[in-house]
């Protein structure tokens, strides 16, 4: 594999792999340290999304990588912090790169541009004595792909948004630079406050009334924020507060409602 050292990261590049996340998890199983190791692939034969989902990406067009983090400074109960940090790093980098301001974090793990999905994050953590140990952070970002299969709901790529081709390595390095900064921030109380604030500012649909499928029932709700354990906190029209995990709530979109 081609190797590049960038800041405190060791970047590895491969043409094809089953899944960059799986490769990292195998390194952990083999007793190797994955801290600050990044594996970036042109193509995944078995790319994984949240739950049972498959992650599709045309060969060489998009950013597919996994990043290893020594997450020992984070309590197991606070693991959603990693999702917040990486999502902010991605959204901030994309906004700076394109000068578009409509990038949002759709809870729990999607990167959105307006009403469309640009990317996703998939995290696996190992835990030791109530603290996180190693974290594998996988990111798939649609960058230069122009067409998508019909089965993918509401996909979009950067190229479709701004009509130019992007250098994948440049985006990768920008995200890693911002990620490092956010990790440092997460080590102080003041920094944690900033992360939480900025995360909520970028949260898709925060404060807006929309229809959601909650345990197979449609309800009009509004997102208030993120609660304990990274749960989505929502308010009903009757003023009741509910806490949802990702299996309970499904966001509904206009094209599904008519
Ligand atoms: C989702 O939206 O469901 C999460 C998608 C995460 C996809 C990335 S691509 C790189 C890394 N390797 C994988 O197998 N999955 C993640």
Atom 2, ligand 1: residue with shortest CA distance: 120
Q: Residues 104, 91: contact at Cβ < 8 Å? A: yes
Answer whether 235's CB lies under 8 Å from 227's CB. Answer: no
- On the 0-12 / 13-18 / 19+ scale of CB atoms within 10 A, 189 is exposed
Beta carbon of 142 within 6 Å of any ligand 1 atom:
no
Q: Does residue 258 carry a pLDDT above 80?
A: no
Query: In the structure, what pLDDT confidence band is assigned to residue 130 with cuts at 50, 70 and 90?
Result: confident
- Ligand 1: centre distance to CA 7 (Å): 24
DSSP SS3 for 35: coil
Q: How far is CA 77 from the centre of its chain?
A: 19
For ligand 1, is residue 118 a contact (CB within 6 Å)?
no
Q: Closest Cα partner for 256 from 115, 149, 146, 123?
A: 115
Is residue 125 within 8 A of residue 131, CB to CB? The reply is no
Q: What average pLDDT does range 205-216 have in this prediction?
A: 96
Q: Is 27 helix (H, G, I), strand (E, B) or coil?
A: helix
Question: On the CB side of 196, how many CA atoms lie within 13 Å of its CA?
Answer: 13
Within 129-231, strands assigned E span: 131-141, 209-214, 217-226
**Inter-CA distances, 144 with 2, 59, 153, 192, Å:** 22, 10, 18, 34
Separation CA 81–CA 93 (nearest Å): 18
Cα(3) to ligand 1 centroid in Å equals 22
Q: Is the CB of 120 under 6 A from ligand 1?
A: yes
Q: If you ran DSSP here, which 8-state letter would residue 76 be given?
A: G
Strand extents, DSSP E, the chain: 2-6, 9-17, 37-44, 63-70, 103-106, 110-113, 116-128, 131-141, 209-214, 217-226, 232-236, 241-244, 249-251
pLDDT tens by residue, 186-202: 999 999 999 999 999 99
Task: Sheet with 131-141: list strands edge to edge.
Answer: 2-6, 9-17, 37-44, 63-70, 131-141, 116-128, 110-113, 103-106
The reply to whether ligand 1 has any atom less than 6 angstroms from the CB of 155 is no
Instruction: Tell me what percent of the residues of the chain surpass a pLDDT of 70.
Output: 100
Could you give the CA distance from residue 217 to residue 250 in angstroms, rounded to a whole number?
A: 10
Give pTM, 2 decimals. Answer: 0.96
Q: Which of 166, 168, 73 is nearest to 128 (CA)?
A: 73
Tell whether ligand 1 has an atom less than 6 A from the beta carbon of residue 249.
no
CA distance 186 to 190: 8
Check whether 255 has a pLDDT greater than 90: no
Please write the tens of the pLDDT for every residue from 33-70: 999 999 999 999 999 999 889 999 999 999 999 999 99
Ligand 1 atom at minimal distance to the Cα of residue 41 = 10
Read off the pLDDT of each residue in 204-215 and give the average, rounded to a whole number.
Answer: 97
Task: Using the atom order of ligand 1, give the atom closest to the CA of residue 44.
Answer: 14
Supply 99's token pair. 């000068």
Confidence of residue 254 (pLDDT cuts 50, 70, 90): confident
| 212 Cα to the center of ligand 1, angstroms | 24
């Amino acid at each position: 594999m081609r190797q590049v050292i960038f800041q405190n990261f060791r970047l590895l590049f491969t043409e094809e792999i089953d899944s960059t996340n799986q490769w990292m998890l195998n390194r952990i199983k083999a007793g190797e340290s994955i801290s600050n190791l990044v594996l970036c692939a042109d193509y995944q034969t078995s790319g994984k999304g949240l739950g049972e989902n498959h992650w599709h990406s045309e060969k060489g067009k998009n950013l597919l990588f996994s990043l290893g983090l020594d997450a020992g400074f984070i309590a197991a109960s606070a693991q959603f912090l990693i999702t917040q940090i990486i999502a902010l790093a991605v959204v901030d980098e994309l906004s700076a790169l394109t000068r578009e301001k409509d990038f949002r974090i759709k809870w729990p793990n999607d990167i959105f541009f307006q009403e469309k999905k640009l990317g996703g994050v998939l995290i696996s953590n190992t835990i030791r004595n109530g603290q996180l140990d190693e974290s594998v952070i996988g990111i798939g970002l649609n960058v230069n792909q122009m067409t998508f299969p019909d089965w993918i709901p509401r996909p979009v790529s950067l190229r479709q948004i701004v009509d130019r081709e992007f250098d994948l390595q440049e985006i990768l390095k920008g995200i890693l630079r911002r990620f490092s900064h956010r990790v440092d921030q997460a080590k102080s109380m003041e920094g944690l406050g900033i992360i939480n604030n900025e995360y909520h500012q970028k949260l898709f649909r925060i404060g807006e009334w929309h229809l959601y499928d909650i345990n197979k029932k449609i309800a009009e709700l509004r997102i208030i924020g993120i609660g304990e354990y990274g749960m989505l906190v929502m308010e009903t029209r009757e003023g009741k507060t509910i806490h949802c995990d990702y299996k309970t709530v499904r966001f509904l979109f206009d094209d599904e409602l008519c």
